[in-house]
Structure 1
Amino acid sequence: MALTNGATTNGIASEDHVASFWLRYEQLKLQDVMKNVLLEDVITGYENLVLKHNEYVKEHEDEDETLNAFHQREQSLLLNFNTLQTILNRDPFVLVLIDGDGMIFNTGLMRDGESGGRQAAVLLHDVAQEWAAKNVIETPRDVKVVVRLYANLSGLADVCTKAGLISNPNQLAEFARGFTRGKTLFDFVDVGAGKDRADGKIAETFKLYLYDYHCRQILFGCSHDNGYARLLEQFTDTEPMRRVTLLEGTPFEKELAVLPFPTVKFPGLFRDSKISLPGTIDLLTGQPPRPRIDSRGLSATSGVFTPRTSSPFSPGGGIAQLDGQNLISQRLPHLRTNSIASSGNSSESEGVNSWATIAKTSSSLPYRDLPQASPSVGPPKEILRNLKGQRVDETLEYDREEVVRLKRLKMCNQHYIGNGCCHYNAGKADKCPHSHDVKLSQHQRYMLRVVARETPCKKGFECDDTKCIYGHRCPFPLATEGSSRGSGMCLNGENCRFSREMHGVDTKVVKRTLVTGAF
């Protein structure tokens, strides 16, 4: 009897039947491997997801902490910014910086002494405040006005008295006192006698406030002096230029007029012409005055003594007609009247034809140039030395504006006042960077010696050349303000071309050495 499905025959198992079991077993075994692999893949993937999840959670927590830290920092910075902005916007002010030796106040105000000084302070404060509110960005209408006016008070009072602007020097002292007391932030500073004392203080004050954020604008009253062009030229290509406005009194000098700074004028508050003393050299400008007028046979009403109708102090003056100056024109009429009355009534106390009356009433007449005496240009015949044996340059009297003008021409010093330019003498004038074709008078050659003195001599104190045109000591005044103060250096500081030992040289001559022979 036959068996199926691998059954045994006569008790003997079939081989095919056994093989099928092995085959089924291998299949089941393969399925287990595939199942295990699948489970391992799933578990591995899940493990990776858990790790990434944990990383994301950690990063999120870190980001939250960072965001919170940034938020707190932002709040702190915003608070600091608002605090700083409040500090910076607190007490904004406009600085009015005036060289009082040339920016002279209305004569009527000065004659009123202390009360005139107080009124001048109030007028200047109000008109500067009104101007700033209209012309300076982000400036409130109640912006503070700070005034620093520097002048040689005694010298200025003497000049004004001699010119007949005031009756005695005490009037100007009282005016200065009233000006300082008129407003708490106003100072009329007496710098005393001495060349460039006011200039140095004004220059350092200008630099100090130029970058001060609280100082929204500097009104710089210096129209009479070309020397300030050197200071202002340093800032013509920079942002601070927009924070400076030039205040006009007398018409701007040539070098100042070409500078790109905006300008403003407060007519009637300051004189618009320089002071000139009859028969003498103007002590403020160094310019020759008009000749003295012979008053013999002339009455007080003569045309030569009658003030010009365009005078800012005359009833028909041009104060009110100028834009933005209604404030001054409204407050000064009585001063203009007083000025005329004092001139017309002066005969009661001084006499109609007294010299004081003539000086007062003729001060507005146009000037007529007088020929200037030309100093000697020749070199010294001997060498001057001090106690230490150092060479002392002889003193040169000069006109500052003429010296500045000559410096701009950049002429060859050796050609005009020295031993002759070697390039020019050799027919190679193009090799010398300086000019040789300008015609100079004897007086201008003398002034050129002042220019040459600003170049240090290479031989220094030991130079024995009587024809040497260069400087043997620094000609500039010592610094009394700023970082160079007390260092013995001049206003130029470390940029000065003269060595440190050539500053502060003793100029007292104790020995004269006669030098002969060629050099």
Structure 2
Amino acid sequence: MPSLTLNGNAAGADNISHIRSFWARHEHLRDNETLRTVLLEDVITRYENLVNTHADYVAHHQNELEQSLALQQAQNNVRHLQNLLNRDPYLLVLIEGDGMIFNTIEDGEAGGKVAATTLQNAILDWATTSNNVLECPPDVKVVVRVYLNLKGLGEACAKAGLISSPAVLEEFARGFTRGKTMFDVVDVGYGKDRADVKIAENFKLFLHDYHCRQIVLGCSHDNGFARLLEQYTESQEAQMRVTLMKGVPFEKELTVLPFRTVKFDRIFRDLKTVVNTPDLLTGISPRRDSHALSGASSAFTPRSITPITPRYATPASNGMSQLDGVSGHLRSMSLTSSNSESGGSTWATLAKARADRPLTDLRKMSSPADVQDLGPPNLRKSSISRNRAGQRIDDSFDYDRDEVQYLKKMKMCNQHYIGMGCCHYNAGKPDKCPHKHDIKLNKHQLYCLRVVARETPCKKGLYCADTTCIYGHRCPFPRASEGSMRGSDRCLNGELCRFGADMHGVDTKVVKMTRATGRF
């Protein structure tokens, strides 16, 4: 190291001091830089935390915003759906029209319009009174569907005397349908239970429809609907939404169901419609058997225009014949004077009505004792009349129509009185037979009971060889002279006749007699 002079030492000292000042300044700047770095790091850290917190708040807010929008949309949807559900509420009335018959059918189209208006007013008054129908708004509509066999019911009502002709019912249906825009009469045509099936399917379809606030079911006459309703006896909702409407009294199986019932006065007939059984001689007042039109009911009496047929006649002076009536009083009629009188009960009318019947000589029935010879049971018959085809031909009867009608209403057991005996009664179980056994009948009543039995078809058919058989082997009712059945071999009962198609139009010309051993 080179030596320094004095001046050199002074210069060196200054340099060292200067260097130290640099180091001091450097240290100061370094410390400040550290403080700045720490401060900056702290600021960045805090900023980062704020950014993350803000992001969390933004995400949470966005989620809440989306939920709020979704909730608002859901509320709007609920209001829209509620408006849709509350729009066009209606009460559905399903009626089995073959049994629920309106009182105004005889008035044709005008009667149909009156029935529609009356029924709608009655339904609305009932639905809005005493909360019979919950949540029933004032603008509720009434929808009515009547299912029936229009042609068959029209013919039956005409024969029962409710209307003048089947066309009147068609006019009524037209007036009913036109009377209210939501009222319809649906013609289901011929066929068993066609109306019932349609009503059942509509019932199931609309039962849980919220727009349908109540189903009013008109079926009081038909136990068959009990099968449908039994499926819903445990459903409280169904019990609140279904009401049974009464026309005729409810059948037994319907009365035990837990559904409400309602009856509207003066709208429907409260008696079953009866189509009087036709007179085998004259063909007047025929019967149509169906589940809705009971041929056994006694709601109606025979028409007054029915010719009076004698039980038996005895020769009398001046051409008079003595007629013993149902009540036991005597009637007399002059063959000469009756031809000149107006009315349906003349011998001329009777003769004309019987023109196509086999001739029966009333003189053979010359005394009440002869009635016994023709009377029940036909156990003495050893041979059976048959036509060319070998088909059995039943003997023709002359009888008192009033007596026959009376016996029908009495519901006598045919087998007990004129057959081989009722099996239930003979077995000591008369309660098992639905017919009567304890009424004493005279000879003539037993004779007339054979006419009643003839209207039940024999299960053995046209070739029955049982000499003791009391039932009919060919349809005793007159052939159809009008409508779609005209010109056919079918009777005026049409497709509802209990006699099979082969038992119609049977040749009644006897060509041989066959012997039989009796019952088999």
TM-score normalised by length of structure 2: 0.49
Q: Which has the larger radius of gyration?
A: 2
TM-score (norm 1): 0.49
